[in-house]
Structure 1
Amino acid sequence: MTGGKAKPLKAAKKQNKDLDDDDKAFHEKQRAYEKAKKEMAAKAGGKGPLNTGAQGIKKSGKK
């Protein structure tokens, strides 16, 4: 090889291992957890400060 980029080595293909029912259930639970986490983050992202009550933020100072 003279000049140019060297070709990267090909990654070995992943083996498709047989998953039993416990593994399938575990992966499904993980996917559901990640989905719920993303939904909660999206829901919480659009809101303002969490400490807003009926009166709002009180300002201190002399009149």
Structure 2
Amino acid sequence: MLGHEGGKKKPLKQPKKQAKEMDEEDKAFKQKQKEEQKELRELKAKTTGKGPLAIGVIKQSGKE
């Protein structure tokens, strides 16, 4: 048991991620995604609490 080490080993330090520059396409894409998510949240807020979206008719058989 000579090689036994107590405690946790520390993970190796990762190099810091450098902030990459975003070009105009990336900025437009991110903006479009934010707008779509906002619209989805608004639609979810409208639909919650209203009951079922599809109103079905219960079919009755000819037997009574």
TM range, normalised to the smaller chain?
0.5 to 0.7
**Residue in structure 1 matched with residue 26 of structure 2 by the alignment:** 23
Q: Distance in 2 between matches of 1:46 and 1:9?
A: 50
**Residue in structure 2 matched with residue 43 of structure 1 by the alignment:** 46
Q: Distance in 1 between matches of 2:13 and 2:48?
A: 41
| Residue of 24, 33, 36 corresponding to 1:33 | 36
| Residue-pair matches, total | 59
Q: Which runs of 5+ in 1 are unaligned?
A: none
Q: Which runs of 5+ in 2 are unaligned?
A: none
Instruction: Decide whether aligned partners of structure 1 residues 11 and 23 sit closer, same or farther in structure 2, where only a CA change above 3 A counts.
Output: same
User: Which structure has the bigger radius of gyration?
Assistant: 2
Q: Over the residues paired in the alignment, what is the CA RMSD in angstroms?
A: 2.7
Over the matched positions of the two proteins, sequence identity in percent amounts to 50
